[in-house]
Structure 1
Amino acid sequence: MITPEYFYGMKHDPNDPNPFLAVFLDRSIPFDESAKAAFLKDSSTKSRQFLLPLLRPFARLSIILIKLLRTVLPNAFASSRALHRILYRSLRTFVTPEANTMILRHFTLGSEILQFIRDNVPGVDVKLNPLRPYKLEAVKDDLFLIHDINIYNFIINLNKELQAKGLNIAYRDEPNMDAITVGPQPIEAMPNRWTNKIDLLTAIECFTPVYQLFLTDNDFWRASNSLQLDEIIGIYASTIVNEPQRLALVNNKHPMVPMHTLQAGYRLVLHGLATEQLHAMLVQKKLAMGKRAAST
């Protein structure tokens, strides 16, 4: 697994500056340092540079063909169990350890963000279904599907409570930060065989038509549209901590305007980055609160 030292030890050639080194050293975007190093190293692989442009057209053509199939047979081949076992074996066999680590991190960070929002809206009682996978084998338990459903259920149940009780999400001077974990996650070492060479974006582009094939048309449409919820979750959290400028980095924009599914793979990566950035911002807030408390 790549650590930040990979970039700190990288030599800088002024005549040929490394674009990934520049982005890593920049601190304008909140991001866990180890996760940032892993993501940027994964993005700099030969797979990302050469394989992705070749595979992406075929992957998107497959999405179109499967969509045509779904118009006639909306539930043919649907099996979440089979899907998640295929995803698990593929991740274990072909995907880089950095990409697999980023995938597992995402579910835990998402769960912590939802709990943070719930904890900072006094008067509501929204049940959560937190996901904290630290082993790749957890993917087999319908992990991706449950993650999407959790977000929808959270937004629906939270807003039902807000409307029924006449409450609003508002700024809190001293927010409850118990849900936000500071420091590394206890994720197991990921497979690192000679076959584990496929980067995160290439893997997601290839997995998207597989995801579509083994889900019902309704499940895939719902999963694709869940990416549009990034701005909603971002608004909730930024309202609580009064950091509206953080929404500038949310690229899966207006939730009332669904995007077509051809870009689902790319937008899924943006969804992961939005979660990382939002969680990192909350970590910064928690550390700052701790320093203020220690100085008083």
Structure 2
Amino acid sequence: MNGNSLLVNFLCFLSNANSNLKWIKLDLGFRIESPPLVKAMGLVDLIERNVPPHSRKGRKLDSVAGDLIDDQGNATIVLNQLEADLKFDEDGRLLRIPNEIIEFQKEIENGYLSNQLAKIRLFKEGNVAPIVSFYYAMGEEGPSLITVCGRVDVPPIPTKLKLELLEVDELQAHIDELELPFEFPYLQLAYELYEYSYEVASPKLSFLILMDGLEALFSPATTETSYSVSRNAAALLGTPEEESEQVFKNMMELYRKRSTLIYGQHEIKKKSKRVDVHDIVYLRSLLRRGIIGAHRLGLEKEKLLSLLNKSKL
């Protein structure tokens, strides 16, 4: 048995990403690259060359390739390196996963990196999420797999990030300035519901979760919910592109759909009453903008609602 402190490479595939993310700067040694998917998969084949075919994650990646590439056919991967004390038996087999990798997974991959990806999801629609991560060492015979994390599950109701090059600086500032978790409990609850809407497989459930998120932001405890939430959302989120009055009308229509889902889901006959992906994307946009808008105002919920009540639609 022997031990060696070796350089371990980290490679993580992101789903629903965009090659312009490669311009985003991360801390703690992380960098984002966007190689052609064929090149990235070729590296995975080398890393897993000594893994039994039925256990190779690369084979599963092939089945979700459409979720890994952008319009240019590029994958988006996250890279890093760390040092770890690797112990092998007499046949050269790794005895155990070193503590350095376990700590990196817990504190850095599932901590810092996960946090930065969450900030990207709060910037613009797109279920950017890690699919699988490889930890491997480079030897004389090439890369050698140490461990792999992730189940290669495609996120439910996938929507791709459409990040323009002109938006990169704005996203960078958003990542650098935003701190998670949020200070106020109502904002944190709305954010957690926003994130949860990406995780569920049912469009109807995602719809209801997002409606709950908007209520966490905009619903006072003493008035009729559908009107007050619709009005407060319109007051905060009205823009030149979508006037406050239109936001209000859209919200009231979404409340009618919600009522139909909860109280009469077997009576949904008209197409306009059915929940679809467009409803989910629109609701998520309202909730995302509402969370960021309320965060920038820096107000407790009661003060935020008081301010919005003074606004004229």
Larger radius of gyration: 2
Which is richer in strand? 2
Relative contact order (alpha carbons < 8 A, sep ≥ 6): 1 or 2 greater?
1
Task: Judging by fraction of residues, say which structure has more helix.
Answer: 1
TM-score (norm 1): 0.26
